[in-house]
A and B are shown apart, each in its own frame.
Chain A
């Protein structure tokens, strides 16, 4: 196996480690913790009164708009990384290119700003 794959195998092993920790601790807990079921214990918590309606209620559309904005900007941020590592080789050419890219990116932010999307109502 190559060094490259070995490094990423460690990443996979760490996922397993987190799983082992979670299930190990819960398993250890299950040996000593009590289980006395009463129907009231399994009610949804709502400040001490009986829950009204469903827990999965409608929510604010704002979150959706911000998530869309995030996806656009995050994808563009990914493009800056490879440029940033190689700036020394590209010199002035790379700098001008990226200045244009960031200008367009900032223009998009400005557009969203002027449209009032960044205002939380």
Chain B
């Protein structure tokens, strides 16, 4: 029976697995639908995982307490329970608010988060779209969230929201520059903007002729990595850069008038973006989905790649959230000073030094 059954598949089975997997011509619309579905699953999951592991548990342990323990084993379902609670909340538009802009603001923030995921590679073929301008595109769409936050702050017609929105805009644009300039060092070293090629350059690179661990750019771009992490922290409006959402003075800033799911979208945007930025840092500085050993075009990396990437993403996220729980809030003048008088000159110097090393060596 089995022989007869296998007969039509014989040519397929005779081939080695990789070509059998990719010889199948998947129609464009089908593959797009699969990618859309996967990312639509990944973003809320990423927000939940980061929220649970870091925001609830790691912060609790660092403060010598247990955190949520009731909902599910060790409180794992706490955020799901919160989500269900948000689902039941009344949808309130303040009377004086600009209704259209007020309703569109969370959408703009979420679009910005979704668009970053388009270029993050998780394997030789496991990427939504391999754009030539990769990292440039990611930085461009990530700064769209400023527009959404400013819309939220303005449309709420609330003094706290307006102050929060303006603070957020001032902070996000100030830290946009170090973020862009820190990436430049990696671009110089790899000679490309394409994130897949940046991964390949790291896996196949060598350190003074020794290729034991490839050349993860963190070894040469540690200054860039530091600037990138600080700027990411500020872009996420997380402590110590949480002036725009400071609860104790402006009661949540631009989020103050939002209820229920509209509020949750901002939360999802923040943690989804945290995951995306951690993934970008892992791809650019830690070697991404690749391991420096073996053939990185092997199809197996499409399965192992996401796991390797996830480990690196969690490592970077640990750093980001460790900063978040450790440092007290910076004042507005302090954070502008840090960006303009320290990070930007440092990033410019980093570009010049990297350029000199690239040309001379």
On A, residues with C-beta under 8 Å from B are 6-11, 13-15, 17-19, 21-22, 25-26, 28-30, 32-36, 41-47, 51, 54-57, 59-60, 62-63, 66-67, 69-70, 73-74, 77, 80-81, 84-88, 91-92, 94-95, 98-99, 102, 105-106, 109, 113, 118-121
Contact = CB atoms under 8 A, between A and B. Distances in A.
A7 B114 contact: no
B99 to A, nearest CB: 11
Given A43-B94, A44-B158, A81-B136, A22 B341 contact: no
A55 B159 contact: yes
Contacts of B257: 44-45
Interface in B120-164: 128-131, 136, 154, 156-163
Interface stretch (B5-13, B206-214, B215-223, B345-353): B345-353
Contacts of B91: 26, 29-30, 33, 35
Given A70-B176, A87-B188, A10 B106 contact: no
Contacts of B39: 14, 17
A91 B262 CA distance: 52
Nearest to A73: B177
Interface string B163-200: 10010011001101100110010011001110000000
Contacts of B332: 120
A56 B158 CA distance: 7
A98 B355 contact: yes
Interface in B41-57: none
Contacts of B25: none
B341 A118 contact: yes
Given A18-B107, A92-B359, A42 B337 contact: no
B82 to A, nearest CB: 14
A84 B158 contact: no
Interface majority SS on B: helix, strand, loop or mixed? Answer: helix
Contact of A18 (B110, B154, B191, B262): B110
A86 B32 CA distance: 32
Nearest to B110: A18
Given A44-B157, A56-B157, A73-B344, 8 more contacts: A9-B32, A22-B107, A22-B265, A66-B170, A70-B176, A77-B181, A85-B187, A87-B188
A96 to B, nearest CB: 9
Contact of A19 (B96, B107, B348): B107
Contacts of A18: 107, 110-111, 113-115
Nearest to A93: B359
Contact of A106 (B94, B180, B337, B345): B345
Contacts of B352: 98-99, 102
Contacts of A46: 158-160
Contacts of B277: none
A85 B191 contact: yes
A14 B102 CA distance: 22
B179 to A, nearest CB: 10
A15 B114 contact: yes
B92 interface: yes
Contact of B35 (A10, A33, A34, A84): A10
Contacts of A102: 348, 351-352
